[in-house]
Structure 1
Amino acid sequence: MEHRGLNPGPAVLAAIIQNLCKCNKLNQAEKYLAVMRQKTLAPTRCIYDALITCCCDQGNKKRALQFYDEMTRNKLIPSSDAFMTLAKKLFIRKHETQSLRRKCSSSKTI
């Protein structure tokens, strides 16, 4: 954007990141997040919420947890929606793993 003479401020970058996340374009959203960081702008709670939700929607729980950890290190608290989305994804995965383990251990091999 800057090579075209545009210098977006924090509100514009936040809007771009949030909308890219809504469109499930996490890679592009992360590029704009990198632009924010280069400008030494701190991501807001809304940005982290959008990134966490997008990661969960794509099944990328590991990346969602990384954003959550980064968010809490920056003393930001996720919205209840983002937190519940992350918790549900983690719970479902844990539940699936436990079910699979039970199934495998109960089946007898010849």
Structure 2
Amino acid sequence: MNEREPVIGVTSAATLLGLLVSLSVAASICFDWGFLHALDLGFADVPSSIADHARSALLWLPVAALAVLWNFAYRLVASRVEDGLTEAEILASSSNPGLLS
């Protein structure tokens, strides 16, 4: 029987997930540093642990993931509608270009 190769293997998925978690915690630390810096505080002034930064990442990561997915879906629909044409080409091929301009 001819088996197909999976699109993404378990090892690749685990590596990707580990990279995503590492980057999100690093981004969370940068965000928390910026937040404290805006308040004229530092990490030495406010006791924090890696659990605090992981919690912060868990709070904003779903919203960021939804924003990325929404952007991807919008670009997918827009490219399908535009079909790779410029605005001038879309207007020229329209049956009623006056409504589009």
On whether the aligned pair clears a TM of 0.5, the verdict is no
Larger Rg: 2
TM interval, short-chain normalised = 0.3 to 0.5
